[in-house]
Each structure stands twice: as structure tokens, then as C-alpha cells.
Amino acid sequence: MKPERILLSIAAACIVCLAGCSKAPPPAGNDAQNAAAPAADTVKQAAESAKTTAEAAAADVTKQAQDTAAAASGKAQEWIDKARSLIAENKFSDASSTLQQLAGMKLTDEQQKLVDGLKEQIQKALAAKATSEGASAVGNLLKK
């Protein structure tokens, strides 16, 4: 994920900066080892802090993405429900137009199956209606 990489890069830069800023003239002998221990602890704490911050940011980005997807899924479901009600009212052209509104939306697998089923139902109903109207038109011609 890009936000994670960005935050990790910033954290790494901060760690390098902190490590570079805390340089002091090296003490002689064992004193150098004793002086390096606090610096190592500081770097370790900064790395842990950066990791925690990056994880929190990644969690926020993931939650926002899930919320956005849920909102889009909810809007798609509204269109699907509207198309269903129009089909029930035998308004097949309107239902077909409503389903066209879903063209750019990302649907769940379940929603996609439902939309495909509704489109098939609309096509069958329109075909049956056309056949019925054609037959009645021919029947009316023959009766005259």
C-alpha cells in the first residue's frame, strides 16, 4: 500500500536524522560502548514508534477503503432494489434503465449475479410482451 510505504520512508528518515543528530565525540575504550547503548535504545524506540504510527495509518486507510466500498455497495443495492420494484410493476424499460446506472459501479459477486438475473428476467418479459402484442395484432387483422 502506498501510504504504508510513505510512512515507513518518513519513519526511516526520522531515525537516520535522530541517529545523526545525536553524534558526540566518541569516548575512549569501554566508555564508547557505554555511550552507544543509550543511542541504540533511542534508535530502537524511534523505530518502534514509527512502526506503530505506520500500522495505525495503514489501519485507518484500510477502514476508509472499506467504508467507501460499503457506501458504494449500499448505493448499488438501492439501484438493484429499485429495478426489482419496477419489474414487479411491469415497467421493464424503466427497470432496464435503472440497471444501466450500475454500469460503472463495482458490485459484489452476489450483486452481480442478481443484476444478471434481473437483466435476463427483463429480456424474457420484453420478448414475451412483444410476442403477445404481435400475436394480438395478427389476430386482429385476421378477424377483420
Cα–chain center distance at 111: 15
Confidence at residue 139, expressed as pLDDT on a 0 to 100 scale: 60
pTM over 0.75: no
Look up residue 111 and give its amino acid.
Q
- Extract the residue ranges of the chain whose pLDDT is less than 70: 1-4, 7-8, 11-14, 16-36, 65-72, 134-144
Q: Residues 60-82: pLDDT tens digits?
A: 777 776 666 666 678 888 989 99
**What helix, strand, coil percent values describe the chain, rounded to 5?**
85, 0, 15
